[in-house]
A and B are shown apart, each in its own frame.
Chain A
Amino acid sequence: MRTTPKWLFPVLALLPILGLYGCIRVYPIVETLRLSLFQWNIISRRKPFVGFANFIELASDPLFLEAIFNTTIIAFGVVAITIPVALALAALINSRQGLRRSGVYEASVFLPHVVSLVPAAMAWKWIFDARLGPLNALIGWVGIPAQSWLFDPVLSLVCLIVLCSWQAIGYAVLIFLVGLKNVPDALYEAARLDGASSLQAFRYIALPLLKPVMLYVSVITLISSYNIYAQAFVLASDVQGAPGHLVRVLVLDMLENSFRNYRVGYAAAEAVVLLVIVLVLTGAQFRLFRDRSRA
């Protein structure tokens, strides 16, 4: 009775979306890979193929090495703070589950995650401010001399880690709570019958079951920290005389190379390095996952 062939609808429905994907995802990704092997300054017609020369130059480019060092410190610093803190908070909130206030705790911890990056960074910039900021006044109370938080190369990294962790914790808590709620009640009952305290029940029952979730959150947090830009732009950049020490992160170095130095091929090579980092992290996650499910 039907005259239209069965494949017509899916093909017609998918084609425009595939077209979009081709133009705004696949093509630019392939183009990034291709450009990384060329030397090109945007304006010039000449675009010589240079093989891996861009990558070789990156390996000894002090600015790029600084960027990758800073970004790595930030990414791992954020994970080192976020995961344990979020886990502890999730466990505590979970133990008050069913009480109305647990929703309030959850919402307050989550709120920083949904504050847009720029206003959040502006709030922290004031806190860290060397002359007017409450942080210096606070540490002054306990006798620690005032620090120039955003001018010192090490402290400005610490500031970025604090800001990014503050934003990441809420999301991690929310996911850990989902994980904790999925721990079967029967397991807790059994543990209680065996005389386990609620701390022991968490340590020996919930924690092992949460491991894949922890792995997932760690990788997500690492990857998003490797891509940070807005936070560094506001908190630690030297644009237009805004005071502060410039914390060079990967995305900033990349944008500077392509838009300020007009070295598009070179910037593309940096993008490829970023991609490789992300792929390695994702791959590691999948591998660990699989090992666990096989065990």
Chain B
Amino acid sequence: MSEHEHPSVVGQSRVVGLVIDAVLCAVSLMMLLPLVFLISNAFKTPPELLAWPPTVIPHQPTLDNIVSVLRETPLFRWIGNSLIFATLSTASIVSTSAIAGYVLGKFDLPGIPVIFGIIIATAVVPFEVYMIPLYLNVQSAGLLNTWPGLLVGYLVMSFGIFLIRQYVMTSIPDELLEAARVDGAGEGWIFLRIVLPLMRGPLGALAVLAFFQAWTAFAWPLVVMTNKDTYTLEVGLALFQTGFTVDTGRLSAAAALALVPSALFFSLMRRNFVRGVAASGLKE
């Protein structure tokens, strides 16, 4: 057998392996089927949408749904809004986590444990719990329907600070920092030139998580951004679909345009989704 077998299954017969493959293929197909139908519905003509059994590959593929969705809704604008929002949020979360994670992990000052405790404590509280007071603040500051108002909810991530601190403590040796200090390097230089490059791995993982979190945000953008032109993609789609009752073709076209690129991207980045779990010590 040329393929490498995992030790947990050595001795497993060929037949069992084929059965497992069959089951996994079936499950994979079932998991993907709703998305396959969504994409295929986007290209169907109204009569074909009513056909049974539903076709996977449209007989007469049409771009009408997509064209009419793009004419009726500022879909690209919503995608742009979501991209800007997610990028800014990611930038903020990555930089605050890098700085706070490093300081909390490597500096021994009185009060540091308390600060870390507070940051971790807020991580337990779901965003939905304190969303309303935060909204009232944004409102009284006159920031509704503005980028700062939208971003306020997504500037920091306690989990990110935790992740980076954990990494800094286990993977960046004190001797390295001390050596640089002995050589006369300033603290800012040490952080930017020595620590930051070493943190690229976990920061990359964190960036994917942060981008995903902002990209899929719903309740907060829904209440803060209330003009059709300032909607994020999720909110725009959700409100678009309430406006129609039956037009599956156009709904599917809008949804498919929205999800295909992002889902493929995040799926390729899937390892980053579990990196934090490994770091939090569950590994052992």
| Residues of A near any B CB (own CB < 8 A) | 1-2, 4, 7-11, 13-14, 17-18, 20-21, 23-29, 31-32, 35, 42, 89, 92-99, 101, 104-120, 122-127, 129, 132, 134, 137, 166, 169-171, 174-175, 178-180, 182-183, 185, 188-189, 192, 197-198, 201-202, 206, 212-213, 216, 223, 226-227, 229-230, 233-234, 237, 239-243, 251, 254-255, 258-259, 264, 267-268, 271-272, 274-275, 278-279, 282
Q: Which of A25, A29, A105, A226 has the most CB of B within 10 A?
A: A25
> Contact string, B251-267, partner A, CB cutoff 8 A, digits 1/0?
11001101100110011
The listed residue (A240, A243, A275) touching B129 by CB distance below 8 A is A275
Q: Chain B's interface: helix, strand, loop or mixed, by majority?
A: helix
Chain A minimum-CB-distance residue to B257: A119
The residue among A95, A174, A226, A229 with the most chain B CB atoms within 10 A of its own CB is: A95
B234 / chain A contacts, CB cutoff of 8 Å: 116-118, 230
CB contacts under 8 Å to A, within B150-190, are 152-153, 155-156, 158, 181, 184, 186-188
Which A residues are CB-close (under 8 A) to B147?
none
Q: Say whether B197 faces chain A, with CB atoms less than 8 Å apart.
A: no
**Contacts of B82-130 to chain A: CB distance below 8 A:** 96, 99-100, 102-104, 107, 109, 112, 115, 118-119, 122, 124-130
Q: By the criterion CB–CB under 8 Å, are A132 and B49 in contact?
A: yes
> Do B7 and A95 have beta carbons less than 8 Å apart?
no
Q: Are B6 and A169 in contact (CB under 8 A)?
A: no
Complex: how many Å from CA A101 to CA B28?
11
Residue of B nearest to A196 (CB): B11
Contact B128–A13 (Cβ < 8 Å): no
Q: Are A230 and B152 in contact (CB under 8 A)?
A: no
Residues in A with CB closer than 8 Å to B181 are 2
The docked-state distance in angstroms from the alpha carbon of A108 to that of B191 is 40
Residues on A with C-beta less than 8 A from B142 are none
A129 to B252 Cα, complex, angstroms:
14
Distance in Å: Cβ of B25 to nearest Cβ of chain A: 8
Complex: A115 Cα to B3 Cα, angstroms? 33
How many residue pairs link A and B with beta carbons under 8 A? The number is 297
Known: A25-B122, A26-B122, A92-B23. 17 other contacts (CB 8 A): A1-B184, A9-B188, A10-B112, A14-B104, A17-B99, A24-B152, A28-B133, A105-B25, A126-B37, A166-B31, A197-B11, A206-B8, A240-B242, A251-B128, A255-B219, A264-B132, A267-B132
Of the A-B pairs whose beta carbons lie under 8 Å apart in the complex, a sample of 28, sorted by A's number, is: A8-B187, A10-B107, A13-B100, A20-B96, A20-B156, A24-B134, A24-B152, A26-B118, A29-B125, A42-B136, A94-B8, A98-B6, A110-B270, A111-B31, A117-B234, A126-B38, A134-B52, A166-B34, A175-B282, A178-B274, A178-B277, A185-B8, A188-B10, A213-B282, A226-B126, A242-B242, A271-B131, A278-B125
Residues of B within 8 A of A169 (CB): 31
Chain A residues, Cβ within 8 Å of B125 = 25, 29, 275, 278
Q: Does B278 contact A (CB under 8 A)?
A: yes
Verify A118–B237 contact, CB threshold 8 A: yes
Q: What's the nearest-Cβ distance from chain A to residue B24, in Å? A: 5
Q: Contacts A93-B24, A95-B8, A134-B54 given: A279-B282 contact, CB under 8 Å? A: no
Q: Which of B29-46 contact A (CB under 8 A)?
A: 29, 31-32, 34-35, 37-38, 41
How far is B102's CA from A17's CA once the two chains are assembled, in angstroms? 12
Residues of A within 8 A of B223 (CB): 255, 259
The reply to whether B237 and A122 form a contact with Cβ atoms under 8 Å apart is yes
Asked whether any CB of chain A lies closer than 8 Å to the CB of B57, the reply is no
- For the complex, give the distance between the alpha carbons of A110 and B5 in Å: 23
The answer to whether A216 and B274 touch across the interface, beta carbons within 8 angstroms, is no
The winner among A8, A107, A185 for most chain B CB atoms within 10 A is A107
For residue A229, which residues in chain B have a CB less than 8 angstroms away from its CB? 128, 218-219
- The verdict on A233 contacting B238 (CB below 8 Å), with A18-B115, A24-B156, A115-B259 known, is yes
B132, B188, B243, B274 pick with most chain A CB within 10 angstroms:
B132
